[in-house]
Structure 1
């Protein structure tokens, strides 16, 4: 190994330490008791309270109502993450399919209108979105958490570019075999889009899982809180001389990191293929 390779590896290792360091500190802090953290701050060593802290945040009811545990919030986050990702994929694929294969007037113009919504993030349209959800009675419901967010200009763009790269001969062959629009979409385009679906799924799952602002507005019932929302809730329970449960907040933060990491690791190879693969 020459000097250049050694320096490259040193830089990579420093990058890994820079990224992983805060996670390690958060995990180690989560194994200490609240008093130690309150007195000494964040900890870099193991504290010996791993089982106690993680069992408490997962299975012991807490919060203001003392009726909701971390497992309920984990389940809510799972529903939000999967519903968010699957909904965006379905809507994006159907929108891209219509734009590419249905020769209706102003199809390109409609696509650019959809793409322009990237300039309007959730924070910009959050008030009208909330008013609509509230008027429909969808507050404190899974549909209220998921449905208003599933339209995706990013997903529509990626699937549109993918569908445009599919050879026209496939469409002609499907027509000769008597396949209609739905059969062509279901039996040909969807199987061909598996790697792209996996790539979009990872992006959208992580984005949906980490949502904080929208669940904060839509959920006022603690039984509908997500993990990300619950972390803040733990730190808000600070009454009188009670010491803030930073150890529990850190434990919940570590638990909140695990599902996105697992999804990325499982679908990593598909993710890369979906973004760089050119051969169809």
Structure 2
């Protein structure tokens, strides 16, 4: 009786593999070239500002574009930190960065606190009008600050919160986006886990503190990065609600440093810009591991 021999695939000739390898190498090289061009286009303006902040005002005033560091870096950064733009009597960068840090941190913490508690209530509690409340929150996505800026300013003005931290922070605290994201995550928590917590005698607050918050750690970290950068970069609302230099933020300060060519110390402006970049960059770097984990983690 004859036996059927298993078919053995013939080896691919080396001559046939060579063109394929060359195609892969060519595609890989093209991809790396495109990525390198993108990095250069993105990083070149930042590099020019960084190098410009180390030169004197005369070099920048002549229209030169320095690509190598100068010798005035320490003096420029010290002047910006303690005095600001001396020709326009601007606020010291240290004061403006403190104001921006307070605003960004409190906006971030407030948004996270309100969003996670409101999402918890909508996701785990049954009460009349629950979905109505959720959709009311969701609809506010169509009403950003820019749309409701005049009535919001009127309310802030009537409450006497102009030129205060409260006026800077409170109108920007609510976040429908974060509420929606937390609700969608809470809906993925198994019902068996909720029932097990009830059988163990866990009340709503204990379930929230011991189970929901630990499971949401990576989501909170990812949103913290996004919301901090959002709060730090605010321009329109601080420009409208602050007229006093005591609560002036760094973004507003940079714009006010710019004026007539003769009154603008470009080296100080560039040093201020570099200092303004440091806090959000530091937050992104420090939270990077948690941020990536929140994007890639599939099991909680």
Q: TM-score, normalised by structure 1?
A: 0.93
What does 1:83-162 correspond to in 2, within 5 Å?
83-162=106-185
2:228 to 205, 210, 234: 205
Q: 2-side partners of 1:66 and 1:16: how far apart?
A: 37
1:6 to 13, 24, 29: 29
Partner residue of 2:276?
256
1:187 match: secondary structure: helix
TM-superposed CA distance for 1:252, in Å, is 1.0
1:23 aligns with 2:46: yes
Asked if structure 2 preserves the Cα contact closer than 8 Å seen for 1:35 and 1:243, the reply is no
Partner residue of 1:228?
251
Runs of 4 or more above 6 Å deviation: none
Moved more, 60-69 or 185-194: 60-69
TM-superposed CA distance for 1:66, in Å, is 4.5
Mind listing any 5+ residue stretches in structure 1 that lack a counterpart? none
TM-superposed CA distance for 1:60, in Å, is 2.1
Q: 1-side partners of 2:94 and 2:117: how far apart?
A: 34
TM-superposed CA distance for 1:61, in Å, is 5.6
Q: 1-side partners of 2:85 and 2:276: how far apart?
A: 17
Asked if structure 2 preserves the Cα contact closer than 8 Å seen for 1:34 and 1:243, the reply is no
Q: 1-side partners of 2:114 and 2:206: how far apart?
A: 17
Q: 1-side partners of 2:263 and 2:100: how far apart?
A: 27
Partner residue of 1:190?
213
1:148 match: secondary structure: helix
Bigger-Rg structure (1/2): 2
Q: Call closer, same or farther: CA 1:197–1:18 in 2, change over 3 Å.
A: same
Q: Call closer, same or farther: CA 1:64–1:21 in 2, change over 3 Å.
A: closer
Asked if structure 1 preserves the Cα contact closer than 8 Å seen for 2:221 and 2:287, the reply is yes
Partner residue of 1:270?
290
Counting matched residue pairs gives 277
TM-superposed CA distance for 1:167, in Å, is 1.0
2:258 match: secondary structure: helix
Mind listing any 5+ residue stretches in structure 2 that lack a counterpart? 1-23
RMSD in angstroms over aligned alpha carbons? Answer: 1.9
Q: TM-score, normalised by structure 2?
A: 0.87
Q: 1-side partners of 2:89 and 2:44: how far apart?
A: 34
